[in-house]
Amino acid sequence: MTEMVYGAVPDRGGEPILPKWWRTVDKWSMTCVLLLFAIGLLLGLASSPPLAARNDFAPFHYVQRQAAFGGLAILAMLITSMMSPVMVRRLAVLGFLASFVALALLPFLGTDFGKGAVRWYSLGFASFQPSEFLKPGFMVVAAWMLAASQEINGPPGKTWSFALCVAIALMLAFQPDFGQACLVLFGWGVMYFVAGAPMLLLVLMAGLVVMGGSLAYSNSEHFARRIDGFLSPDVDPTTQLGYATDAIMGGGLFGVGVGEGQVKWSLPDAHTDFIVAVAAEEYGLVLVLVIIALYASVTVRSLLRLMKERDPFIRLAGTGLACIFGVQAMINMGVAVRLLPAKGMTLPFVSYGGSSLIAGGIAVGMLLAFTRSRPQGEIADLLRGRVR
């Protein structure tokens, strides 16, 4: 009866962790994530052999690495999703501090792997990208600050979180990594809006972002080149965007057939940034729509479950994590179809990349932990005064 009235799962004292987790976790969202990872392995089989051949590796070298990193990501997701919100917050604080220090030291100890942007640490057997782990940690830490600021005599959490957000965005922009900087700003902006930010302040923030983009265009050749390429009415067929556009157009509704695609032989980032072009060429619009539906399902289901949450910290942190998950996918696919300028951003759980996979597993694990059903009334009940 309680569940019917309040829309929540009653507490069962002394229940073992695994049965309680399985009963309360969002199984549909978890299934969608597992399907995205399976699609990523399938597309990796198609896109990575040409790169392996160019680098004198075995044909499925990158697929095997993706499976290994993906296994760690899934394990991290499951373990994190079993944690309580307090444990998730503690994990996020520690992870954020470590990632922030690593990001600050990148200009001195990092490498660019010949790509023109110092974003990684080379570990010999693999590479590490601090910004991927920084995002989920920052979303949770910023949500904690924003929630604390709503308490009576609480700290100035809005000011602290904004200062931290600006500092992170500047460090990312100097790499340069404007895509991740924009994603961090967007995630913080969404949480700030949900926390009750004045509309005038949000408009002011949008103006500052436009001004920052103008300054970057004037002072960064890397940024200006990408913007000019995006605004140009003609697409150079020998560029990454040109190859991706031709592949997507050639795939049609059902694709050219498994293994028959040609874009993977031309695109150096076919297994990462432009993985959706491989999907569109070999499997057609049908698979692309399935991928979009899976990302939309995780994002929308999470937001709907968070709307029932009373705790402001859980509601804010979950909203930030859900939004950056969905928006990162949207940016990656938008770049591939030339709706957005090139960003160098992976497609979560589908693109190849150890840092992206493991950090994505932790982020989705946090989201699943925040969206688990809890023994509470819905927030609407508080507004109607129904909760006794």
pLDDT in tens, 251-274: 888 888 887 788 888 777 778 888
pLDDT value of residue 205: 74
Banded model confidence at residue 3, pLDDT cuts 50, 70, 90: very low
| Structure-token pair, residue 88 | 């998730």
Model confidence over 5-59: pLDDT tens digits?
A: 334 455 565 678 889 999 999 999 999 999 999 999 999 988 888 888 888 888 8
Q: Tell me: pLDDT of 94 over 70.
A: yes
Percent of all residues in the chain with a pLDDT value above 90, rounded to a whole number: 50
Q: Tell me: pLDDT of 2 over 70.
A: no
pLDDT value of residue 317: 97
pLDDT value of residue 269: 73
